[in-house]
Amino acid sequence: MDLANLTVQAKAGDREAFISLVKQLENSLYYMAKSMLGKEEDVADALQETILKAYKSIHSLREPQFVKTWMFRILMNECNSILSRRSRTVVYAEVPESASPSDEYDKVDLREAVERLEEKMRIVVILHYFEDLPLRQIASVLEISESAVKMRLARAREALLKVFTINQEGTINYG
């Protein structure tokens, strides 16, 4: 069943429809939270709060076809809330080791390269290319203009192009 129909049923009080809705979106929501927060325990907290808030306020969603956008907005607000609550102190165990230059380090897949992008660019890439959200919905989720979304996508593509170069045979060389 598609998301809009599940949303209509969930709005009518069907708990099973809401569970199905969450199950269809959980991987996408998890990846976005992981991308923003990094720590598994923070990701779990953000997902739990997002699902709870969505369940409590599903009746307020006006356009069922935009349920995915709505859920992402709730999730991003939760992630931002968690990030703002995080302490500024860094536990010694969390200090990353200095990276050693290696050829293997540069051999990454696309998701890893996207993870290395600056947060603003990473989020629009994930929402547009991995979650197939149109520019208008991304602008709505992020509360920015469509032209700002386009600019972030262009900058992200430019940054990714520096990581990946395509040779004349059509295979990818890792830069």
**What is the domain-level CATH number for residue 20?**
1.10.1740.10
Q: Which of 59, 47, 32, 53 is nearest to 124 (CA)?
A: 32
Which residues form the domain of 10? 1-87
Which of residues 87, 122, 156 is at a domain's end?
A: 87
pLDDT of residue 171: 58
The residues near 58 (Cβ < 8 Å, ≥ 6 apart) are 7, 10, 11, 18
Both 14 and 67 in a single domain? yes
* pLDDT tens digits, one per residue of 127-139: 998 888 899 999 9
| Residue 165 within any structural domain of the chain | yes
| Residue 96 within any structural domain of the chain | no
Is the alpha carbon torsion for 34, 36, 41, 43 positive or negative? Answer: negative
Q: How confident is the model at residue 32 (pLDDT cuts 50, 70, 90)?
A: very high
| Residue 99 within any structural domain of the chain | no
**What is the domain-level CATH number for residue 133?**
1.10.10.10
Both 66 and 117 in a single domain? no
Both 82 and 2 in a single domain? yes
Task: Tell me the pLDDT of the chain averaged across its residues.
Answer: 83
Both 108 and 134 in a single domain? yes
Q: How confident is the model at residue 108 (pLDDT cuts 50, 70, 90)?
A: low
Q: Is the pLDDT of residue 90 over 70?
A: no
Once rounded to an integer, what is the mean pLDDT over residues 63-71? Answer: 92
**How many other C-beta atoms lie within 10 A of the C-beta of residue 9?**
18
| Residue 140 within any structural domain of the chain | yes
pTM tops 0.75, yes or no? no
**How many other C-beta atoms lie within 10 A of the C-beta of residue 50?**
24
Once rounded to an integer, what is the mean pLDDT over residues 88-99? Answer: 49
| Residue 9 within any structural domain of the chain | yes
With 0-12 / 13-18 / 19 or more C-beta atoms within 10 angstroms meaning exposed / middle / buried, residue 27 is exposed
Helix, strand counts (H, E) of the chain: 9, 2
